[in-house]
Structure 1
Amino acid sequence: MSVGTDPQPISDTGAVESSCDTGPDEVSDRLLRSAAHSSRNAMVEIDWNAPLDPTKYGCSPEWSTLYGTAYWNEMTEEQRISLTRHEFASIMSIGIWFEMMLQELVFRDQYLTDYHRPEFQFAMTEVADECRHSLMFALATKKMVGTCYKPHPRLGRFAKLFKSTAADEVAYAGILVAEEILDVFQRGCMRDDRVLPFIRTVNEIHVLEESRHMRFAREEVRQRMQRVGWLRRQWSAWNVALASSYIVLSLVRPRAYADAGLDYHRAVAEMRHNHHFQSMVRSSCAHLMQFLDEVGLLTPAAARIYRKVHML
């Protein structure tokens, strides 16, 4: 059983990531070869009709937003299992939402580029992966709890503006942060034998394939930031941090607590003051924050936003 997180960037082959390949085309060429050999298909790997084990969690208990609170200590084992299933269904539903935004950002960036370049070809591979991931998440939430969760309507409107205007380093840094946030949860649960087996498989597939996407996004951010001046860097860093904060705050929707049979007013209040969960998120985002600092996107204004949502 493993419930920890790995602070090191893991490549698509499972090894610590190498920095030998630099530049979008060089990195994309390597990632294309990896995708051809190691992509997986949840539609055939998972038995979507198999019954659920009533004793298994939806995510590692330690990754529940209420773990360590007084409310958690009062719950029965059945309530804790139900809570983690609805929490992770919410996280996967929000994952579908920002994966759809991701696809639009990539399509817009690659529109009318050189279609022969590895950069374009891997971008299209990533979009295809995200379509499969969204379907996988949709089937997983349906099987586990029979419902899906959506962001607040106001956030939905803000996201429409973001995905219509974000470009260059803002687009790819936004993609990277969103992918890293979901990756944090899944790495912490994918080898935990207390978690539903099919959810562990979902996590393994997503972590494997998102490692390629994150490598691609990091290289795109590095390249775009080379020609960014001071003023634009301040704006881009703030914009990415603001979008990231909204995603983090939306991962577990209040209705998930109600659907799990809890008093959602109390649950939300205790979640907001849960130092254990805040510490888990902060430690798991250390590598991401290091990268943003390295490329100049961890400005003082951005850092204040990340601290508010416990990513820093």
Structure 2
Amino acid sequence: MSSQAFQAVTSKLIANSVSQGINAFAYFDWPQTLEEDQYWFSPDALSVAHTDKRDELTEAELIRLAKWECVNSFSLNTLGERELIENMTNVMEQLKLGDAQEYLYHFINEENQHMWYFQKFCRAYAGKIYPSIAIPVEEKTLSKPLHHFLVFARIVLFEEIGHYFNIQNHKDERVHPFVRSINEAHYNDEARHITFGRRVLRELAADALTNDEDVAIATHELSKTLLVNYNALYNPSMYRDAGLESPMKIRSYLIDHPARQSLYKNVILKSANAAFVKIGITLNFPGDEND
């Protein structure tokens, strides 16, 4: 995409953020409590979906699990968006995006609001946020263009995963109405963020992916990100809090399940994967070694 076309897309996104964005701090009518006999997460989006493990659980067990999968999802968003804001803030003034630079301020403002309402939900209705698992990061000396590209590429992957669950949860009428409203609000903002992310990757790739070594490094780093994000969807704490026996055994079974691996690659991240292929990166997904 030409720089002129990129600027035009970003100008439209800025206008939409102004006209369609919400003030999350005043938007939601927070109930005192949430009924726990309703799904807080679509049963079709649970980590046990598409496996025989779902059939082994009673309706009551699925509803309890849905509560804690919701908490896990919102916890991941809280911590992930905090990291996203930090990383973007660190590089945004180094980028050369012309007038499109302005959109980054809208992006950060919206992510800050998301972080606020996700953490508020977890604390108000579950009494906690699930902590993230520290992942050792291999220190590499990267060119600035490649570093900037990886910052936005990781953001794209993170947001595409969240987008899938927003869609599943805000459209499913079995899910508690308040939870649906949060997913819908997040979906509306993230649709703009994803459009920007895919476009900006094309702009950044020209300077970042200049040779085979750059492509190999980017592929390696992003494939690690895919694995970390995938594993985070199967937090043993949510199985434990739902009262299920052998939470680590459940986690291992689901992580290795071919249907779950296929869903991640061919449904959840199908569009993102296609976008990376267009710029010359073939990502390695969990389970690819078994193909």
TM-score with structure 2 length normalisation?
Answer: 0.86
Match of 2:110 in 1: 129
> Take 1:141 and 1:160, find their aligned partners in 2: how far apart are those partners?
33
Is structure 2 residue 50 aligned with structure 1 residue 85? no
Match of 1:12 in 2: none
Cα shift at 1:278: 3.3
Seq. identity, %: 20
Amino acid of the structure 2 residue aligned with 1:62: D
For the aligned residue pairs, the C-alpha RMSD in angstroms reads 2.8
Deviation digits for residues 199-256 of structure 1 (CA, Å, limit 9, x no counterpart): 1111111111011111111121101112322221221122122122212211332111
Match of 2:49 in 1: 67
Amino acid of the structure 2 residue aligned with 1:95: N
3-state secondary structure, aligned to 1:44: helix
Cα shift at 1:67: 2.7
Cα shift at 1:111: 2.1
1:34–1:27: structure 2 CA closer, same or farther, 3 Å change rule? same
Aligned length: 283
Residue in structure 2 matching 1:171, options 148, 151, 175: 151
Match of 1:198 in 2: 178
Match of 1:186 in 2: 166
Q: How does 1:241-252 map to 2 (within 5 A)?
A: 241-252=223-234
Conserved 8 A contact 1:180-1:288:
yes
Residue in structure 1 matching 2:252, options 269, 281, 298: 269
Is structure 2 residue 25 aligned with structure 1 residue 25? no
Match of 1:6 in 2: none
Match of 1:149 in 2: 130
Cα shift at 1:261: 0.9
> Take 1:161 and 1:95, find their aligned partners in 2: how far apart are those partners?
26
Amino acid of the structure 2 residue aligned with 1:48: W
Conserved 8 A contact 1:21-1:27:
no
> Take 1:45 and 1:192, find their aligned partners in 2: how far apart are those partners?
21
> Take 1:288 and 1:79, find their aligned partners in 2: how far apart are those partners?
33
Q: How does 1:27-66 map to 2 (within 5 A)?
A: 27-66=9-48
Amino acid of the structure 1 residue aligned with 2:158: A
Is structure 2 residue 287 aligned with structure 1 residue 308? yes
Conserved 8 A contact 2:261-2:287:
no
Match of 1:14 in 2: none
1:29–1:78: structure 2 CA closer, same or farther, 3 Å change rule? same
> Take 1:42 and 1:201, find their aligned partners in 2: how far apart are those partners?
11
Match of 1:100 in 2: 82
Cα shift at 1:76: 2.7
Match of 2:278 in 1: 294
Tell me which moved more, 40-49 or 256-265.
40-49
Conserved 8 A contact 1:245-1:309:
no
> Take 1:123 and 1:159, find their aligned partners in 2: how far apart are those partners?
27
> Take 2:18 and 2:229, find their aligned partners in 1: how far apart are those partners?
31
Amino acid of the structure 2 residue aligned with 1:60: S
TM-score with structure 1 length normalisation?
Answer: 0.81
Amino acid of the structure 2 residue aligned with 1:308: G
> Take 2:31 and 2:171, find their aligned partners in 1: how far apart are those partners?
22
* Structure with more contact order per residue of length (Cα contacts < 8 Å, sep ≥ 6): 1
What are the ranges of 5 or more consecutive residues in structure 2 without an aligned counterpart? none
Cα shift at 1:42: 3.5
Cα shift at 1:113: 5.9
1:78–1:275: structure 2 CA closer, same or farther, 3 Å change rule? same
What are the ranges of 5 or more consecutive residues in structure 1 without an aligned counterpart? 1-18
Cα shift at 1:122: 0.7
Residue in structure 2 matching 1:256, options 238, 241, 256: 238
Amino acid of the structure 2 residue aligned with 1:181: I
Deviation digits for residues 61-102 of structure 1 (CA, Å, limit 9, x no counterpart): 111111354443333322211101101211221122221221
